[in-house]
Structure 1
């Protein structure tokens, strides 16, 4: 078999084989050996950046450290300065991997990885996809992702798609006419798996439901669907499992780091403990016990070009009580820390609370395809939705009753029907946003 994916990384200077060998050794460590590995890697990466990275030296205020918990929390605002000011000695844009975050958190920045670190990132991805029978050199991907619309950026992504054996569907327009074309592609191509943004794939599943079609009936080669970048709700997962006829796997990661958590074959959201060290911290930057919600803070154990040490990614979550150092399990991903609503009573609630309440009512009959919620004032919210028919007074009254029951009274909601919802320039759908 011609290993075109492996070859494309090799041509670009990423030592994939060496990285795969190291990852295999880390995976094979016992629990006792892993404790020593993680402590050594934490100490090694911090000492490296304190010695070789002026940006990190300034952040820490010293070239020495004694206590891990005394190290500062790195946030996205710290990183919003020119990349060359943040690189370690010996690294330039000519010998590193450079990319830009999507900006879905509202704080985009350019980041870098050394080439070995990036090879490890890909090794980690390959390892986890392989758990579900996916081979990056041979499996054919149906890709629901955004794509740059400028000529050069578009052609670069198309080339990457070719080298990675994937066909990319447009997600900026997912009208029934476009979804019908996607359906025909599945009829005529031996796709092995689906990968992409949750909201777009959910829309495709709803289209199949409306047409009374099971995907495996028309594309029997399809094995698994892996969703990423947006929240996956339990009822959406159930719908996709029914209409696709395959397992739905939940992926969680950020571009500047790696895969953070990936659903394993036991249905657990297993945290990447091979290339990352993941902490869940309280407001005083102290680790919380497993089972308690806190801020997700991550250290990249191998990135020497750019420090990501105790880096706050902007999400909150909960580690399962049964987690171990070698096998942490993400029990719950609560959402972005900036996706929080402050109510007139002073109550603070995750924005997804509104989404859950509203979703359970307005999607009951399949009329509403998707929707977003925006908090415009402390007591005012705007709901924009795409549907075949406009919401009626009875449905809106049900939502108001549920909101009063679960949250508080005297909240004002307006509902606006749209033909399409605004997405980011990468095609992501931000489901809740507070303007307060």
Structure 2
């Protein structure tokens, strides 16, 4: 043991056996045996025991064991704690064992697979782009171009039609303006025909109720005219003032006092002050002198209604009137187309009835070759021939039953 560890201590083989044979690598320290003598020799001292223990601790296989196993083994050999502690301090610092270099092989690099996938991806993208480009230029682009050209031609056609329509509308408007120049102008202040015959507010409201017209839909001129007429009936033909006109209207139509009727009442005032049919005077009647203005300077106005003068007929109206008078009036008597035939048949029936009671004459005496007929018989034969010819003509020239008037 001293030769293997390089120490100068001498030891006999009988005292210290070969540690490599008794304590192989990986075996616990307790298996390493000492000499089999039950009692140590008397000449062995304490220093020799320490030398043996020091040499034992410096063995390579013992150095790999843990400190606890070393301390327990030395204590079993008779060393005390101080000696064991001193021997343990003399040992060199143990370096951690380096595991054997049996690392696993690194995994193969994924770079080739990645590059191959990228190459495939770019090839697919390039092929798809080429296919889409081919489809677009061969299939879609001609259709889009044809659609665009069709839209452009349709738009230009519509524009030309609109221009023609505008030109025709302008020509029509010009011709209408020329034709309307000879037409009578509409009267600006004309009452509806249904209200012109009403002479009082009660009759006017009754007529509006019959026609299902609200008060707001009645003509303002008719309302003001009837209000002035009602006031003149009860005030000895005196023209009313403005306040009196509206008092009569509000008495007959209470709706004018409400908030909804205020705008309509304002329209009535505008019509009264602007319509030329209502003439303001400073006197209550035409035969009374004008009254002086009151002390406050406000002039009192009395209103009267002047009916509009009928307009003179235009040239067109005059020509239409002359044309209507020149047309002959149809007769009231209606003659049937079969009246003449019916009259002839009636006469013939009467003649046959009258001849039934004449005296009998022989046939030879009436129609003989040498006999002569009386004037009456000759007349009868002529009538029969004429009637026969008339009947034949009627049957030949009459229209079919389907073409006869119903």
TM-score range, shorter chain: under 0.3
Structure 1 length-normalised TM: 0.20
- Larger RCO: Structure 1 or Structure 2 (Cα < 8 Å, ≥ 6 residues apart)? 1
User: As a proportion of its length, which structure holds more strand?
Assistant: 1
- Normalized per residue, the structure richer in helix is 2
Q: Answer with 1 or 2: which has the greater Rg.
A: 2
**TM norm structure 2:** 0.21
